[in-house]
């Protein structure tokens, strides 16, 4: 990406500032930072730098501007299925914020928030709150416990409880812009002489989202305009009891009924959590590898009969619904549970799986952990469904309309099967919209399967686009693809902002398709 003269000059300047111990150009390191799970191959960086503070990030960004060396910031690098910690293009310099900037800067147990650096993982903050007595809980993903909270929020990641929207329930940022300037958003922008981040003076920084002027925070979600080095994240008081409920539906087409049943419960917020509506392979794939893979060496999809066998063996259905109530005791929530049993049981197709029974089924226990703010590794088992470590996530969505959701199921399932892959989906349902987490698992070491995975993603993306549907998050391989599907004015606008905040195109060029 950069010529060697500039690159050496850049490393020299950064070494003078940070110390050479915080620059890594070893072969082992560069190889591993380029690894990812996507079909497009690895992307080896030119160097890895470990800044220790916002000021050091700013100095690195200024040096990169001076020498025209592109930087690629990562937090903890656990963005699995979307690019891991690989840069958008080969030859960039990875700015690994997670290694040294992993401090929980502030915990306010009265207001229920923490201010964290990019290296703070879900596990770290959950541990810290546990250490403080366990009266608060965070929203967690069902992905890697060591995933970074800032990285996840900035990529519009989500959990499953009332504070599921990790960007939405963050508040107040500190950002190093592409030009090296440091910005505080919201009420953090108040500029009194001597104010520093974390000062008591900025009392509203992490509690109020709507300060004077434009809401700049959104600029830094899924963009490459700045490096977020501090973020306020909100907590939820941990309830004395969490009681989950689960229903298994036997047929693929039952998705229509499931969506119709979930919508009113979320519209009224009678159920405080989102609904996890996982298909058979999403649930079972976290517990075991595909029993059908070896027979065809991965060339065909698992058959309906094989799926039915798996459903029977695991006591699950074609679709599996999970939600939970928060309350003062398990017993006190019995009336709500009975409402759910009669609501979902009305058609006679649902099999009720009580909380205690669900704890014995790893895929449902994982749902309970996620809803309870407890990071868990169970769902990472999905990555082992097929051998070879390939994994890409396609994340479209559907309105909470059963017929529409079912139509998209039929389209998606056919594309997977046409390419000999296994339809693996969880719909995460709110009142009006469900995000469809489509897992494309494949053998990355098999060139044919690798190509089929890429084809599956592109056919899914094209077909859903034809139906007016885009994606929430995207694997690195297809950032350009997705930006090209937006209207010219959108592309011109995001590019214009890039030019204003990062005129030399130093930060993550190509990420989200923005150069």
Alpha-carbon distance of 481 to 394, in angstroms, equals 13
Binding residue for other proteins (CB under 8 A) from 127, 195, 309, 417? 127
SS3 249: strand
**359: number of CA atoms within 13 Å, CB side?**
6
DSSP state of 158: B
SS3 499: helix
Site for other proteins in 205-244 (CB under 8 A): 237-241
Binding residue for other proteins (CB under 8 A) from 4, 5, 28, 489? 28
* Listed residue (481, 470, 488, 468) closest to 512, CA to CA: 481
Closest CB to other proteins among residues 221, 365: 365
**197: number of CA atoms within 13 Å, CB side?**
22
Joined tokens for residue 296 = 């065809």
Site for other proteins in 49-78 (CB under 8 A): 50, 76-78
Output the smallest distance, CB 35 to other proteins, in A. Answer: 5
Closest CB to other proteins among residues 145, 430: 145
Alpha-carbon distance of 118 to 495, in angstroms, equals 25
Output the smallest distance, CB 237 to other proteins, in A. Answer: 3
Joined tokens for residue 63 = 């040096």
Binding residue for other proteins (CB under 8 A) from 90, 108, 128, 401? 128
* By CB under 8 A, residue 339 contacts other proteins: no
Closest CB to other proteins among residues 190, 241: 241
Site for other proteins in 408-447 (CB under 8 A): 444-445
Alpha-carbon distance of 231 to 15, in angstroms, equals 27
Output the smallest distance, CB 330 to other proteins, in A. Answer: 10
List the x/- string, 362-391, binding to other proteins by CB under 8 A. Answer: ---------------x--xxxxx--xxx--
Closest CB to other proteins among residues 77, 298: 77
SS3 181: coil
* By CB under 8 A, residue 349 contacts other proteins: no
Count CB-CB contacts under 10 A for residue 332.
13
List the x/- string, 87-126, binding to other proteins by CB under 8 A. Answer: -----------xx------------x--------x-xx--
Burial tier of 307 (Cβ tally within 10 Å: 0-12, 13-18, 19+): buried
* Listed residue (357, 366, 309, 308) closest to 337, CA to CA: 357
Closest CB to other proteins among residues 359, 484: 359
- Total residues contacting other proteins (rule CB under 8 A)? 49
- Cβ atoms 253, 413 nearer than 8 A: no
- Cβ atoms 276, 367 nearer than 8 A: yes
Binding residue for other proteins (CB under 8 A) from 118, 144, 272, 412? 144
Output the smallest distance, CB 399 to other proteins, in A. Answer: 32
| Phi, psi dihedral angles at 145 (to 5 degrees) | -60, -25
Give the pairing of strands 113-116 and 104-108: antiparallel
Point out which residues pair with 113 in neighbouring strands: 108, 234
Closest CB to other proteins among residues 6, 25: 25
SS3 498: helix
* By CB under 8 A, residue 198 contacts other proteins: no
Stretch that binds other proteins, among 25-33, 53-61, 154-162, 167-175 (CB under 8 A): 25-33
Closest CB to other proteins among residues 131, 192: 131
Site for other proteins in 246-305 (CB under 8 A): none
Output the smallest distance, CB 216 to other proteins, in A. Answer: 31
Contacts of 439 (CB under 8 A, 6+ apart): 81, 282, 285, 382, 385, 391, 393, 424, 425
Binding residue for other proteins (CB under 8 A) from 7, 10, 122, 136? 136
Q: Which residues bind other proteins (CB under 8 A)?
A: 26, 28-29, 32, 35, 37, 50, 76-78, 80, 84-85, 98-99, 112, 121, 123-124, 127-128, 130-131, 133, 135-136, 144-146, 237-241, 326-329, 377, 380-384, 387-389, 444-445
């Amino acid at each position: 990406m950069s010529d060697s003269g500039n690159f050496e000059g850049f490393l020299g300047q950064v070494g003078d500032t940070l110390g050479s111990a915080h620059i890594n150009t070893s072969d082992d390191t560069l190889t591993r930072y380029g690894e990812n799970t996507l079909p497009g191959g690895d992307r080896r960086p030119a160097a890895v730098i470990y800044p220790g503070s916002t000021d050091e990030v700013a100095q690195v960004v200024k040096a990169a501007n001076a020498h025209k060396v592109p930087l690629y910031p990562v937090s903890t690098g656990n963005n699995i299925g979307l690019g891991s910690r690989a840069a958008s293009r080969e030859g960039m310099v990875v700015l690994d914020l997670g290694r040294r900037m992993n401090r929980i800067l502030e915990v306010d147990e009265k207001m229920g928030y923490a201010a964290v650096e990019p290296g703070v993982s879900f596990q770290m903050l959950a541990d810290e709150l546990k250490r403080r007595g366990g009266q608060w809980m965070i929203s967690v993903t069902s992905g890697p416990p060591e995933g970074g909270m800032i990285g996840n929020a900035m990529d519009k990641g989500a959990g499953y409880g009332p504070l599921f929207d990790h960007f939405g329930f963050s508040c107040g940022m500190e950002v190093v812009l592409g030009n090296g300037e440091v910005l505080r958003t919201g009420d953090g922008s108040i500029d009194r002489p001597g104010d520093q981040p974390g000062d008591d003076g900025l009392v509203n920084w992490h509690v109020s989202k709507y300060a004077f002027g434009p809401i700049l925070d959104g600029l830094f979600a899924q963009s490459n305009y700045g490096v977020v080095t501090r973020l306020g994240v909100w907590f939820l008081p941990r309830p004395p009891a969490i009681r989950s409920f689960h229903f298994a539906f036997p047929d693929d087409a039952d998705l229509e009924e499931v969506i119709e049943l979930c919508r009113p419960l979320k519209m009224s917020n009678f159920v405080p959590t989102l609904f996890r509506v996982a298909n058979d392979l999403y649930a079972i794939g976290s517990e075991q590898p595909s029993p059908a893979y070896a027979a065809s060496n991965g060339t065909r999809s698992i058959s309906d009969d094989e799926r039915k066998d798996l459903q029977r063996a695991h006591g699950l259905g074609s679709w599996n619904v999970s939600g939970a109530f928060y309350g003062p005791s398990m017993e006190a929530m019995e009336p709500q549970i009975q409402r759910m049993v009669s609501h979902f049981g009305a058609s006679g197709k649902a099999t009720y799986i009580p909380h205690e029974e669900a704890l014995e089924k790893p895929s449902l226990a994982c749902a309970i952990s996620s809803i309870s703010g407890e990071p868990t590794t169970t769902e990472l088992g999905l990555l082992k469904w097929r051998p070879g470590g390939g994994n890409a996530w396609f994340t479209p969505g559907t309105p909470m309309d059963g017929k529409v959701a079912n139509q998209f199921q039929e389209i998606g399932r056919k594309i997977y099967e046409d390419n000999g892959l296994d339809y693996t989906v969880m719909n995460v349902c709110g009142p009006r919209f469900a995000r469809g987490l489509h897992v494309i698992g494949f053998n990355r070491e098999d060139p044919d399967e690798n190509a089929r995975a890429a084809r599956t993603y592109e056919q899914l993306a094209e077909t859903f686009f034809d139906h007016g549907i885009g994606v929430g998050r995207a694997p690195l391989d297809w950032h350009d693809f997705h930006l090209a599907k937006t209207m010219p004015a959108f592309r011109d606008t995001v590019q214009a902002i890039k030019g204003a905040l990062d005129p030399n195109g130093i930060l993550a060029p190509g990420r989200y398709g923005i150069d």
